[in-house]
Structure 1
Amino acid sequence: MTERAEIDEAYANASHIPGGMAYPDRWAEAAAAFRASHPAQEIAYGGGARQRLDLFRPEGEAKGTVVFVHGGFWKAFDKSTWSHLAAGALAQGWAVAIPSYTLAPEARIAAMTREIEAAIGAVAGVVPGPLRLAGHSAGGHLVARMACADLAPGWRDRVARIVPISPLSDLRPLMAASMNDDLRLDAAEAEAESPVLLEQVDLPMTVWVGAAERPAFLDQARWLAERRGCGLVEAPGRHHFDVIEALTEADSPLTKALLT
């Protein structure tokens, strides 16, 4: 097996999860049903076609805002697929923002980092109070980047907790993957965009990963937790596609970790 094939296999998820190919349709259906009963306010945070976020507001005054950044290896999905993941925090009285961002190959990962920084800034300007950041897979990478010292957003002193879920924290292995045909990572960008290689800012963080995930994702989560010196939760029985489902539940351990 070639190096590329080995890396592709290491980071493959759908083929190692029973019914894995059906998950995107299930997510989209659940998200659409949630939006039907919980209409969102769409906010532009830039001039790009995908520089938009959906803001879900609770009844009454929000305690603050949860920002959830979706995954998809930086090259798939948008905000419309994940609306239902707002349910848990919304039920606890938090506003929830879910941004889209420009994907590869149109954008490089460094540009996506800056888009998420801008998206959070837009949310911070609309809803007062603390910010809590969560992201899954590539989105876990992007929220982990918000705690790196090379960024200096004006809203960072409002961040109460960051929860990267199944994050990609060291991008260097991905330079050998087939997905890099779209990502276009080179050594300089892989190092500059890898949270485990960067100076850290002291913000509360909990790294979350499914205990049944691929070894590569368990490694990536452990590397980030070790770099941060923070808590690591390996959720029993959860794989890469169902580890995020707990965000739909107001009292799940994942929702509690994010909101406390």
Structure 2
Amino acid sequence: MLFHRIEDWNNAYANGANIAQGETWPAAWEEPARAYREEMQTLGRAQLDLVYGDKPRNRFDLFLPADSPQGLVVFIHGGYWQALDKSYWSHLARGSVESGFAVAVPSYTLCPEARIGDIVREAGQAIADAAGEIDGPLHLAGHSAGGHLVSRMIAEGSPLAQAVQERIRTVVSISGVHDLRPLVETTINAKLGLTAQEAMAESPALMRPLPQKRLFCWVGGNERAEFIRQNALLANIWLGLGAETGAYAEPDRHHFSVIDGLMDPHHPLVKTLLS
């Protein structure tokens, strides 16, 4: 029998350094995202920089299908709660938009200007405001830190009002970080400023899911072992607490390519999200 122990927690959560040509991301997303926004603006189906709060980054972009929306998808971006904004991810709306759903992509205030609890509340406000624009069911997706944020929306202490909670049909956490405690002693925490108490208070894996919620945890099969563990962790724990859950490791995908499926309306990731 083999025992396992993680000696280098910084390396355990280092994505770019452990991916071939990892330094090309996130810049690789900028052009396809820009091109998609331009395409949708030309079609008159993009509403950009809609305001949802009083902070400079409290803005979201809304992309509309050709016909009346069947519902709304909200995609929350990653970047370890301390980097990036909505402009990198616009093209990921394509799969859901072409399936007949509107898609909102918000930015939020980053650490260290905000604490993670503040970002949770901003994400909730963005979702609520976007939901006010589009009728029908809500489907939430988030990548990495965004996976944590969308999971928090259906956990105890959710910032969402009851009426918004009741509209949520499916949540997909993609490469989500669901237990924040391992990050406390990493260099990632230099900007997060997480205390042990905050890490416990904001970890979905340490919370109960809201009643009758469904969560799917999706990860790349070639990701760091910690992301694969975190992926299985939340689905496993919440299954035992009454939620409808699933987990999947997509073969030959790493932390940056695992979201590519969101661009294809026929991809299983989109089918799962819209189920």
Name the TM-score class by shorter chain. over 0.9
Q: Which whole-Å CA distance do the structure 1 matches of 2:237 and 2:148 have between them?
A: 13
Q: Is 1:136–2:143 an aligned residue pair?
A: yes
Unaligned runs of 5+ in 1: none
1:23 Cα deviation after fit = 2.1
Residue 67 of structure 1 is matched in structure 2 by 74
Report the RMSD for the aligned CA atoms in angstroms.
Answer: 1.4
Q: Secondary structure at the match of 2:75?
A: strand
Question: 1:92-171 counterparts in 2 under 5 A?
Answer: 92-151=99-158, 152-153=160-161, 154-171=163-180
Secondary structure of 2:259's counterpart equals helix
Mapped contact 2:155–2:204 kept (Cα < 8 A): yes
Residues 4 and 177 in structure 1, CA contact (< 8 A), matched pair in contact too: no
8 A contact 1:5–1:177 mirrored in 2: no
SS in 1 for 2:262: helix
Q: What does the per-residue CA deviation read over 1:32-89, in whole Å, with 9 as the maximum and x for residues that have no partner?
A: 0111101221311101000100000111200011000000000110000000000000
219, 233, 236: which one aligns with 1:226: 236
Q: Give 3-state SS (helix, strand or coil) of 1:242's partner.
A: coil
Kindly state the Cα deviation for residue 158 of structure 1 after the two structures are TM-superposed.
0.3
Instruction: Determine the structure 2 residue equivalent to 1:29.
Output: 31
- AA aligned opposite 2:69: A
Give percent identity, aligned residues only. Answer: 46
Residue by residue over 1:1-44, the C-alpha shift from the partner in whole angstroms, topping out at 9 and shown as x without a partner, is: xx998111000011111111112111011100111101221311
Conserved? CA contact 1:213–1:240, under 8 Å: yes
Choose the corresponding residue for 1:79, options 55, 80, 86: 86
**Aligned match of 2:225:** 215
Q: Residue 205 of structure 1 aligns with which residue? A: 215
Q: Which has the higher helix share?
A: 1
TM-score by length of 2: 0.92
Letter in 2 for 1:62: P
1:252–1:106 distance in 2 versus 1, CA, 3 Å: same
The answer to whether the Cα contact below 8 Å between 2:151 and 2:173 also exists between their aligned partners in 1 is yes
Q: What secondary structure, in the 3-state scheme, does the structure 1 residue paired with 2:184 have?
A: helix
Matched, 1:7 2:9: yes
- Alpha-carbon distance between aligned partners in 2 of 1:241 and 1:111, rounded to the nearest angstrom: 26
Where do 4+ consecutive residues of structure 1 move more than 4 Å? none
Deviating more after overlay: 220-229 vs 67-76: 220-229
Aligned length: 258
Report if the CA contact (8 A) 2:208-2:238 is conserved.
no
Q: Partner amino acid for 1:245? A: D
Q: CA deviation at 1:227?
A: 1.3
Distance in 2, Cα, partners of 1:160 & 1:198: 19
